Amino acid sequence: MNPTLDEIIANFELLDDWDDRYRYLIELGKGLQPLPEEAHNDANKVRGCASQVWLVSSTEGAGADARLDFAGDSDAHIVRGLVALALAIYSGRTAHEILETDAFAIYETLGLAAHLTPQRSNGVRAMIDRIKADARAASAG
């Protein structure tokens, strides 16, 4: 069972040292359920990430109340942790909640925004854009 967003935030607050925070991010990534090999395909690949990132979404219901679940993976340890964080923020929420949630504010609260390379920040933005696009599609459908 992956930690909730509140648990992740609480754990980040306990860690003062950035090396420890990076190690925690890597541990979060190790806790992700592995994606089936067939999900590592071009359709699920997130464009704009320097590392390879795959996101799979499933939707239950339709409109603003449609509930989306996400699964993801990356070939890079820290990025896999960032995927785990994005899933903690968005997975299991309604399309409306996803579109209203500002993940960047959460990344800022955790201090991640200041400690990610511009390339990784762009990758996080691409991943969140993809999640929000899936939520918009579910909301319209």
State how far Cα 120 lies from the chain centre: 13
Which active-site residues does the annotation give?
A: 49
What is each CA distance from 107 to 32, 46, 64, 89, 113, in whole angstroms?
Answer: 19, 19, 25, 10, 6
Q: Where are the alpha helices (DSSP H) in the chain?
A: 5-14, 18-30, 77-90, 95-100, 103-109, 112-115, 118-140
Summarised one tens digit per residue, pLDDT across range 9-61 is 999 999 989 999 999 999 999 999 989 999 999 999 999 878 899 999 999 99
Summarised one tens digit per residue, pLDDT across range 89-110 is 999 999 999 999 999 899 988 9
Please give the CATH number for the structural domain made up of 5-140.
3.90.1010.10
Q: Where are the domains of the chain?
A: 5-140
39-47: long-range contacts (C-beta < 8 A, 24 or more apart)? Answer: 39/71, 39/73, 40/73, 46/123, 46/126, 46/127, 46/130, 47/126
Cβ–Cβ < 8 Å for 84, 103: no
Coil, helix or strand at residue 103 = helix
Residue 2: what pLDDT?
Answer: 77
Query: pTM for the whole thing?
Result: 0.93
State the Cα–Cα distance between residues 13 and 37, nearest whole angstrom: 35
What's the pLDDT band for 1 if we cut at 50, 70, 90?
A: low
Residue 117: what pLDDT?
Answer: 85
